[in-house]
């Protein structure tokens, strides 16, 4: 009886983890596909503020600003990099 319970718990935990990882992957992929060149920073952040399974971080360098969307559920292996131009509009979007 004890082993069945243990295997059942392991199977259940694996299924829940699988669902969470898949939802995070879909969220990053979907939101990355929504970003189009010419979108404003405000439009980008409005969409990214709706995330459930992931998070984003704005990074600024000398000549460009970029936003990186990723998820800990994905171990940060999949991400969306949104590069903004000097007018704070999307210049490029890359799903990695």
pLDDT at 25: 94
Cβ–Cβ under 8 Å, residues 54 and 24: yes
Closest by alpha carbon to 77, among 85, 68, 86, 90? 68
Whether residue 77 is predicted with pLDDT greater than 70 in this model: the reply is yes
Read off the pLDDT of residues 81-96 as tens digits, 9 standing for 90 and up.
999 998 889 999 999 9
Read off the pLDDT of residues 16-51 as tens digits, 9 standing for 90 and up.
999 999 999 999 999 999 999 999 999 999 999 999
Please state the pTM of the whole predicted model: 0.85
> Where do runs of H (alpha helix) occur along 1-96?
2-34, 41-48
C-alpha gyration radius of the chain: 18
Whether residue 80 is predicted with pLDDT greater than 80 in this model: the reply is yes
């Amino acid at each position: 009886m004890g082993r069945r319970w243990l295997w059942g718990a392991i199977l259940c935990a694996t299924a829940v983890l699988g669902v969470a990882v898949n939802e995070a992957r879909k969220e990053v992929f979907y939101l990355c596909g929504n970003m189009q060149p010419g979108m404003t920073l405000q439009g980008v952040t409005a969409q990214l503020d709706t995330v459930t399974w992931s998070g984003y971080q704005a990074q600024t360098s000398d000549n460009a600003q970029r936003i990186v969307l990723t998820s800990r559920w994905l171990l940060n292996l999949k991400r969306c990099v949104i590069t903004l131009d000097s007018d704070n509009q999307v210049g490029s979007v890359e799903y990695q």
